[in-house]
Amino acid sequence: MFEPREEFHRFIKQKGLKVTRQRDLIVDTFFSINAHASVEELYDEIRKREPGIGFATVYRTLKLLKESGLAREWNFGDGHARYEHVTDADEHHDHLICVDCGAIEEFENEDIERLQEQVAAQHGFQLTHHTMELYGRCRKCSRIQRNGR
């Protein structure tokens, strides 16, 4: 089983930093909510559990989560960074994003990855990473649109 809080403690101690009540709360909350939450969404949920927490602390802890490899940051163009849980160091995936409801789905496609490597090679690039976001209307929102609702 994957224990984010323990992994985080390992990281924190290895860096000579301190385990705090606030950090634990933020990490626990982060992993308990939707995998692509914005800072605001995360902050709101955290305040429900403990109203006194400052948002600077949330930003600071998210930075540590990124550094530790437990979170990955994405920007899908709405000006709000979103953070995703990383539970397996090797996993890689891209995103489908609904332009109506904002739903985010993940996908992996080996063939596309291969073609991307090919394109890069043709241009003399050595790839380090990539982003691919497919925007459109999700199943639910297409249905609603079709039914005129």
Partner DNA sequence: TAGTATATTGATAATCATTTTCAAAAGATC
Partner DNA sequence: GATCTTTTGAAAATGATTATCAATATACTA
Binding positions for DNA, rule: CB under 7 A: 12-13, 16-23, 38-40, 52-57, 59-61, 63, 79-81
Question: Of the two residues 17 and 115, which places its CB atom closer to a second copy in the complex?
Answer: 115
Of 82 and 138, CB closest to DNA: 82
CB within 8 Å of 31: residues ≥ 6 apart: 4, 85
Report 56-95 residues binding a second copy (CB under 8 A). 75, 77
**Which partner in a second copy, DNA, none is near 55 (CB below 5 to 8 A by kind)?**
DNA
Residue partners of 62: CB distance under 8 A and separation at least 6: 26, 30, 39, 42, 71, 73, 83
CA distance 149 to 65: 41
Identify the CA nearest to 44 among candidates 1, 3, 80. 80
- In the complex, the smallest distance separating the C-beta of residue 4 from a second copy, rounded to whole angstroms, is 26
Give the span between the Cα atoms of 3 and 143, in whole angstroms.
39
**What is the x/- site pattern for a second copy, positions 94-123, by CB under 8 A?**
--x-xx-----x-x-x-xx--xx--xx-xx
Return d(Cα 87, Cα 103) in angstroms, integer.
21
Q: How far is the CB of 75 from a second copy (least distance, A)?
A: 6
Q: How far is the CB of 142 from DNA (least distance, A)?
A: 28
Q: Residue 84 Cβ, how far from a second copy at the closest point, in Å?
A: 15
State CA 65 to chain mean position distance: 11
